[in-house]
Structure formats: structure tokens, C-alpha cells
Chains A and B, each alone.
Chain A
Amino acid sequence: MKMRRVAVVLAVCAIAVALGVSQAPAQQKVIKIGALYPLTGNLAATGMDCKRGADLAVEIINGKFDLNLPFAKDEGIPNLGGAKIEIIYADTKGEPKNGLAEAERLITQEKVVALIGAYQSAVTKTASQAAERLKVPYVCSDSSSPTLTERDFKYFFRVSPHDGTMARNQFEFLKDLETKLGKKIKTVAIVYENTEFGANVAKMQQKYAKEFGYEVVADLAYPANASDVTSEVGKIMSAKPDVVMHAAYITDAILFTKTFKEMNLVPQGFLTMAGYVESDYLPTVKADGNYFLVRSTFALDLAKKKPMVGQVADLYQKKYNIPMGENTARSFSAPFVLADAFNRAKSTDPEAVVKALLETNIPGDQIINPWKGIQFDPKSHQNIYASAMLVQIQDQAYYTVWPFDAASRDVVWPFPPWKDRK
């Protein structure tokens, strides 16, 4: 009797050990990355866009695809025995305090080895503080506030351009345009929502307006996500600017567009961003979105010069049944940068990954953005090649119009009056 009991116990132990042993390598083959996005709340649609981009990137890394992207042709990460990446999502609800709490939870409870996200600069700011304190690498490819890379954090890296670069790009465009048209553009109105994102865009635009010699005739901050913006538009109309520069997320972008039309504001041009390239913007405002100029790091017409962009966009369209857009393209790049670092580090140890991230050198033909590549500045950890191009909405689609040599369509300038449209 006793012998039998011992035998059973031994057998159970043996099975447990066997299972444990067979499970151990399987567990090593999954690398967990945490992703923070606003999956509910005002920016839920944006968050879903970002999530789709990151999901597609992981699918390409983990699977076999005939694309010129890092790790597309083989399954998983080669130097780590074909390890697969798994993204654990956390919902920030668009609020900085949740960004901080969720980043801590992902790191301490879910044991993620790196973080990506969180779209809104204000949220990325708090979330990256948690990552820095807990010593976990954070690769951001969607937030644009310059302050994020001015903190000299050890674990924070940014792939996408920041608002300083993009503001300079916007004024470079105006200078180029003046040369092209042979006409002076003198005044700008800077309109922005009053969170981390808008306020810092404005600061940069003011700086470069001065540097490039444009007069700022209106400097308007407004509370984000307002129910009515007629007083804001009234203020702009009284200032009579040549160019209106607007920093807004999706809700404000829609409401402002409707109010511009209703109150008949017609400057020479609108230079916009963020909300205006959201995948929901055009379906909501339809033809009223035509002729807005938007700063961007991606456009579908890049496929003409870089066929790989078209292949990725087709994959995306097939998978989600909507066209690929700016937000998706941004969140798409972070998983590749991390996978590349894991591969060269041959490890997911934070210090080794940070060292590998600093040595990142992804060539321009292996990314879907129109940049020379990805390399991080050793101090700020900002991608030194990141820059913005300008797209214009024409016939309810986004077309590259600047830099002029990369344009697929001519820029329409000045902005056609509302009343002349159908």
C-alpha cells in the first residue's frame, strides 16, 4: 500500500517536472511588450488606430512575410531562438494619471520587458516617468511633444519627429511656397488646445515664426474637447491672419472644421496636424475637409517611390478593411525598433536593450516612413532622421504636397472659399 502511494507521488512529481521542463523553453519564446493607448474615452477611435498598427507590426515580426522590413522574412527574433513578441495592452482612457498607473502595472505585474505608446504626449510623459524609475526601456513612436526627449531619460527613446522639427518643417514649407508663388505670406495665427501637446506645439511655432520672419497676429489657447468653438473662430477672424496653424486632437478638429465653414473663415491656408489625419476625420467631415494641409510622417502615395509601403498598406486594408493612416503608421514602427534591439542584444535585459537601442541603425528602405533611417541621438534619444512632410486633403484623400520634389500632387493655394464649393 505504502509503496503504491510513494510510486504515485513520484509519478506525479515526474510528470510535473517533465511539464515544467518542457514548458520552460516555450515560455522563453515569448517576449512581452506593454502598450499604453487610450482605448476608451474621447480618443478611443485613435487608440484603436494605434493598436491596429502595433498589432500588424507584431504579426509581421512573428510570421513570415515577403517584405523588406526587419524580421519579416523569418518567424520571430532569430538571435533569441525565434522568440515571438506578444503585446499586452493597457487602457489609459486618455489620462496622464492612468498612464502612470498602467505603466507601473504592466511592468510590475505583467512583467513586460519594454513599453510602447501612449499617443498623447501628456500621458507618455507620466508613463515614461514610471518606466524610467523602474528601469524598463520605452520606445515611443507616436507622441510629439519636444519636452519628452529633453529630459535626458536613460530608458526613453523616440522614433517619430517632435513638434520642434515639425514646426520648423511647416515654416520651411511656407518659405518654399513663397518662392514658388512669388508672393509674400506675412501673418500667422497659432491656435492650440491647452494640453501638453498643443501648448508645446505652439511654443515651437512661435519660436520658428520669429526665426523665419512671420508675424504672429493671434496666439490662442483653448480648452480641449469643448462643446462650442465659435468664440475661438471669432477671435481668429478678427485677427485676419494669412495662415491659420491649428494643433488639435480629433474632437476639436471636427468641431473647428464645421465652425470654420459655418462662420466662413477663409485664410490663405490652414496648416494642421494630429486630429486632421485621424482615420475618422474625413469620414466625419467629408468634403469639408478638402484643402486642409496636414503635417504627417506617412501617406499612402509614398508607395509610388517605395513599393513596400503599398504592400504594408494592402496587408492592413485586407486585415482591417480600412485604409492605413498616419496614427497607424506611427505605432507600427515601435515594435520593429524594439525587436531589432532585442535581436542585437541577444537578450531582453534592460541594460543590454538600452545599449542596443543606442546603436540602432535601421536603414531608410526598411521603414515605411520617408526618412533616411532610424538612429538615436546619444543624449536625447531622439531619432535624428525623423522629419515631417505635408499632405493636403484633395478629393477627400491625403496627398503628399511637400517637400515639393516628393509631391504626388500640386498644392492648392490659396484655400478655396467655402461658398464656391458644392
Chain B
Amino acid sequence: MEQLLQQLVNGLLIGLVYSLLAIGLTLIWGVMNVLNFAHGEFLMIGMFSSYWLYTLAGVDPLFSVPVNAVALFLLGMFIYRFIISKVMHGPALAQLVVTFGISIFLANSAALIWTPNFRSIEHTLLSGTWDISGLKLSIPKFITSIGSVVTSFGVFWFLRNTRTGKAILAVEMDREAAVIMGINTERINSLSFGIGSALVGVAGALLATHYYIYPFVGGTFGLTCFCIVALGGFGSIEGAFIAGILVGVVQTLGGYLFNPAYKLAIVFAMYLITVWIRPQGLRGW
């Protein structure tokens, strides 16, 4: 019973990480219908950025959150301006293939520059585990999930309450109408790509506190992220947030109650059933 509660907590903790990763991905999809296959590699760059800041300058990964957010925001804008925006006018297949190409380029460049070796950050401000009457709560994982919630709600707030945010939502709902209303969609596109990338940069800094770091780490989270975005409904921020938690909890509890061998099968079964009943996903339209 105690172990069951422990697994529920663990599921929530990893689920919130998934949420943060998926929100960035779904935002980019929602605004410009581009599936960013390089999302996992952006995460990898975020993790390496925190690693080098820690190793070379002694900056705790927690303080590299804002640095990563800005750096990845700029990287996202750059990649949008110089690569994605060019293929946006091309065939849909080109858009699909280009982000895939970027992902391979980034992962292998990282392997070339930093070697494919594994790294990790030890003894951060957040190392250790709390023991709450038998319930084990990893401090870095807990802070990561808090960071994920704060960032996610920050994005909700930004989208609902600022002019730029509302413009992003408008483009997401109806691009043509947004253009007629005088919204500069090109600017919104690059902003959204920047914001989506900044979010994964934040996730990278938070994950760097307790996860191993290596050039191909993006792949570990990639497939799960796509499943979450589809489950939540393509383009739905709330959907991605809820679906992330759902996948984390179902995967962990499912693995514990049945057999870990089936935990991914359980998650994807849940996904298949959901899209069977609601093809648009939980919160899609």
C-alpha cells in the first residue's frame, strides 16, 4: 500500500516533466502545424548548456534555468527564421523531413564536439532525498516538477493575458482570420518557435539536476512526448499538461501493478483507446 502511494507520487513527478516537454511541442504544432522532431535534441542542448555552466563556471543548474530559456529561445527563433520558414512554403513532407534532419544534425554534432560520453552533475543545491514517514521524495525531482508547474502556468497566463499571447492563440485557431485582423503571422510563428524551445530549455536545466546527460538523450523522451501531444489534442496546451501527468501516472502505476515490461504498452493502449473515442485528443478541437 505504501509502495502504491510511492508509485503514485513518482508517476506525478515524471508526468510533470513530460507535461513541460509536451507543452513546447504542442505550441509549435498548434501555431504552424510543424511537428518538431528536433524537440528532444533541443532538450539535450539545454541539458548540456546547464552541464557546461556548472562544470566550467560553477553555476548551479537551478540558476541556469533563465540562461537556458533565453539561449534556447534565440536558438529556436534562429532555426525558425533560417530553416523552418523557408520550407513552410514547400510541400508538407519537406516540413516533416526538415525537423528530422535538424534532430540528426544536432545529436551527431553534439557527439562530435562533446564526445558520445555520459555525464552527470553531482552535488547540486538540490541533491538528496526527503523521507516523509517512509515516502521517498527525491529533492531534485520534486523541484523539477514544481518548476514544471510554475512554467506551465506562466505560459497559460502569458497566452491568455498579453496581446502577444492572444495573437498566438488567434493564429492557432484560424490563421487566415488572424491575418485579416492584422496579426503579423510570420512574427508569431518565430515567437512561438522561440517560446516552445525556451520551455524545453527550462526542462533541460531542471532535468540536468538528476538525469544523465549525453548527445542522444533526446530520443529517450521523444516518443513519449509525441504520444502526449496527440493524447492531449494537437495544439492544446491544457491537453498536453493533463496528458503528460496522465501518461506519467499510468506508466508508473501500470508498471508497478502489472509488469514493467508492459508499461509502454499500457500507455499506448490508453492513447489508442482515447483517439478511438475522441480522435481529436482529450482537449483538441
Contact = CB atoms under 8 A, between A and B. Distances in A.
B87 to A, nearest CB: 25
B3 A45 contact: no
DSSP majority for the A interface?
helix
A364 B136 CA distance: 50
A45 B116 contact: yes
Contact of B118 (A41, A229, A284): A284
Contacts, number: 111
Interface string A79-104: 00000000000000000000000000
Interface in B124-168: 129, 136, 138, 141
Nearest to B10: A230
Contact of B260 (A40, A42, A231, A284): A231
A44 B216 contact: yes
B102 interface: no
DSSP majority for the B interface?
helix
B5 to A, nearest CB: 10
Interface in A217-249: 220-223, 225-232, 234-235, 237-238
B261 A227 contact: no
A262 B144 CA distance: 15
A347 interface: no
Chain A interface residue bracket vs B: 35 or more
A223 B220 contact: no
A220 B118 contact: no
A284 B129 contact: no
Interface string B244-285: 000010011111100111011000000000000000000000
B120 A228 contact: no
Contact of B7 (A40, A45, A234, A281): A234
A40 B136 contact: no
Contacts of A284: 118-120, 212
Query: Which of B10, B117, B118, B216 neighbours the largest number of chain A CB atoms within 10 Å of its CB?
Result: B118
Interface stretch (A24-32, A158-166, A251-259, A303-311): A251-259
A45 B214 contact: yes
A41 B216 contact: yes
Interface of B: 3, 6-7, 10-11, 14, 107-108, 111, 115-120, 122, 129, 136, 138, 141, 210, 212, 214-216, 219-221, 224, 248, 251-256, 259-261, 263-264
7 contacts: A42-B219, A220-B261, A223-B263, A230-B11, A238-B3, A262-B136, A264-B129
Please list the 8 inter-chain residue pairs (A to B) with the smallest Cβ-Cβ separation, ordered nearest first: A231-B255, A44-B116, A230-B10, A221-B261, A222-B260, A280-B118, A231-B256, A228-B14
